[in-house]
Amino acid sequence: MPSSAPPLWISIATLMCAIAIVGTNALLLSPLVQTVGADLSASPTQVLWASSGYGLGVAAAALLIAPIGDRIGSGRLLRMALAVLTVGFVASALAPGLIALIAAQVLCGIAGGAALPSIYTMAAVIAPKGREARVVGAVITGWTLSLVLGVSLAAWSAEFLGWRMVYGALAALCALVWGLSAPLARLDVPGGATSSPLSALRVPGMGRGILASVGLMLSFYVTYSYTGAHATIDLGLSTGQAGLLPLIYGLGFGGAVLLDPLLDRIGMARATTPVFLALTLTYVAMGVLGASYPLFLALAVLWGIFQHFGLNLLVARLTALDPRQRGAIMGIYSTTTYLSVFAAPFVGGIGFATLGILGCVLISATLTTIAAVEALSLRRTTALSSSHAPHDVPDAPV
């Protein structure tokens, strides 16, 4: 990192806050659906069309706009995305009707789709050698801030100040992070690389990276999408009690940052298969013990911890495939994630209709087991190649 670079913790905090803002917007409309609908004379379903528009915007921008970061620098693209996101929040706060809100959220989605790959790329850029897991782990803790603090605080504030003030506050916070992100634009020196989704797909290991992404993200959303239905329908609990699970999961996900140094010591390649297998066992345990909500919540802590580890390892693996095309590669990852969000209700619905939450977790466990086998086979292939090399090769990030 250049000598003029800001302290590492400031860069980490800036990226963490950027993720938190993007994540908060992605989850925000669900608890506000009645309030927004009453103000805009729209049904809850119609209000959630804005969430769908946001998701489509993220998926499209992550695929088509993220590669621009490889040419101009991910730090610069991140700042542009934050500026557009601020405008999107202002437009959401001022939306006179449903169509205007949907359009504003599509704009937010386009900005979020450009921002997320840039954030992941910058996490890899600022990480000192040997501390990659700790830095990436700290940055992705922004998802916990959005889940535990951002959405909860926004929902509470909307009750007293109105939903428009919530989007106004997000606009102000986003503008603040935009200001703090100026040094990041100087850290990632653009290489002028010409990248695209097609060129990123041709990077060796990208196909298997997408398989690992699906294994981690689709498995999560398949089960997560139906935890609320399990609590309220199968167990007869209140909506408030069902809302405890995201909170408990988020605390586990965020707390896992304290354990990230273990990943640096164990090595990325050696840690990946055990982490995916731990996720498999956690899913199976959730299915077996799902009739007891206290035990289900206790397992959500482990779920959050191992999901954090899995995401950390996945980001490290993908950003190491080709440093010249990190933006395009992470764009494909973000698109894969949002396609998983789209597919999860349908895939999980098959399991839930058949066996309840047990059906969902069995699908998730199957996906993480496939990802564990893939990681093990890749490690063996890497080890075999290394054994024929004239010198020792460092542990590859898998």
Share the mean pLDDT of the chain: 86
Lowest mean pLDDT among 25-39, 117-131, 165-179, 345-359: 25-39
Query: Which tens digits make up the pLDDT trace of 189-245?
Result: 665 556 778 888 999 999 999 999 999 999 998 998 888 888 888 999 886 787 788
Structure tokens at 211: 């398989």
d(CA 357, CA 337): 22
Lowest mean pLDDT among 6-20, 145-159, 203-217, 320-334: 145-159
User: Which DSSP letter does residue 126 get?
Assistant: H
> Is the C-alpha dihedral spanning 225, 229, 234, 236 positive or negative?
positive
User: Which DSSP letter does residue 258 get?
Assistant: G
Tell me the mean pLDDT in the region 13-34.
86
d(CA 246, CA 360): 17
Whole-structure pTM over 0.85, yes or no? Answer: no
Query: Which tens digits make up the pLDDT trace of 243-264?
Result: 788 888 888 998 998 998 888 8
Q: Please give the C-alpha separations between residue 30 and each of 61, 226, 347, 389, in angstroms, as whole numbers.
A: 23, 15, 21, 54
**Going by C-beta distance under 8 Å and a sequence separation of 6 or more, which residues neighbour residue 353?**
359
State the pLDDT at residue 190: 63
Query: Which tens digits make up the pLDDT trace of 143-155?
Result: 888 877 777 777 7
User: Which DSSP letter does residue 235 get?
Assistant: S
Return the higher-pLDDT residue of 160 and 380: 160
> Is the C-alpha dihedral spanning 293, 339, 271, 146 positive or negative?
negative
Residue of 16, 29, 11, 30 lying closest to 254 (CA atoms)? 16
Question: Exposed, middle or buried, 290 (CB in 10 Å: 0-12/13-18/19+)?
Answer: buried
User: Which DSSP letter does residue 398 get?
Assistant: -
d(CA 177, CA 179): 5
